[in-house]
Each structure stands twice: as structure tokens, then as C-alpha cells.
């Protein structure tokens, strides 16, 4: 069963304008790779060159912060809702 990925318009350029996508995978990394296959470049907006979640990107699996569950290796249960939310920061 695929998962639903929600993201704000701030990331829409990386998904061809879509802000709600269906994706498949058992881990967050696999989910991101699945979206990247359809929207090349998406993964680089979320993961750094080492495959780690970027500092200024927050990801939730349901109500859980993915960083507290292994980051990109976090397991994503079937039917979950994944939310990818850029940080709000400055100086």
C-alpha cells in the first residue's frame, strides 16, 4: 500500500508542481528515491550528498519526527502520511 507524501509549495518546483504525492517504499530513503525517479532532483532537496536528511528539512512520518527514528533509514508503515517541511530560519 503506497504512502501519501505532503509537502508545501516551497518544494513544488522539485515535484512538477505537486504538493501531494503517492509513493512506495519501506523506508524514508526508498520513498524519496521513488519520488526522485519521477521527479529527478527531488532527492537532493531532501538529502545531502551523504544521503542524510538536510539540516533545514524536517520530515514527519505520521506524528513522528523521522530524525528520532533513524532519519532517512526510518521505517515507513504502509498507508502512512509523510510530511516534508522546510525549516523557517534566518538571522
Partner 1 sequence: MIDRARIVLPRALREELIAHARESAPQECCGLLLGDGEAVRRVMRCRNVHPAPETRYIIDKAQLFEAFRASADFDRELVAIYHSHPRSPAYPSPTDRAEALWPLAGYVLVSLRADTPEVFAYRVADDAVREIPISEG
The residues binding partner 1 (CB under 8 A) are: 6, 8-10, 19, 56, 58, 60, 65, 83, 85-91
For partner 1, the closer of residues 35 and 57 by Cβ is 57
23-60 burial string, b = 16+ CB within 10 Å, else e? bebebbbebbbbbbeebeebbebbbeeeeebeeebbbb
Whole-number minimum distance, CB 58 to partner 1, in Å?
5
Whole-number minimum distance, CB 62 to partner 1, in Å?
10
For partner 1, the closer of residues 20 and 37 by Cβ is 20
Whole-number minimum distance, CB 2 to partner 1, in Å?
20
Whole-number minimum distance, CB 7 to partner 1, in Å?
9
For partner 1, the closer of residues 50 and 56 by Cβ is 56
In 3D space, the residue among 80, 76, 83 whose CA is nearest the CA of residue 8 turns out to be 83
Q: Distance from CA of residue 34 to its chain's centroid?
A: 10
β-strands 64-65, 57-61 pairing: antiparallel
Amino acid at each position: 500500500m503506497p504512502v501519501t507524501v505532503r509537502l508545501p509549495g516551497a518544494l513544488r518546483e522539485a515535484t512538477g508542481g505537486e504538493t501531494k504525492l503517492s509513493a512506495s517504499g519501506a523506508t524514508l530513503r526508498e520513498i524519496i528515491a521513488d519520488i526522485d525517479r519521477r521527479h529527478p532532483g527531488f532527492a537532493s532537496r531532501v538529502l545531502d550528498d551523504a544521503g542524510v536528511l538536510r539540516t533545514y528539512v524536517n520530515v514527519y512520518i505520521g506524528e513522528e519526527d523521522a530524525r528520532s527514528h533513524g532519519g532517512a533509514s526510518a521505517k515507513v508503515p504502509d498507508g502512512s502520511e509523510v510530511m516534508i517541511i522546510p525549516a523557517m530560519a534566518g538571522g
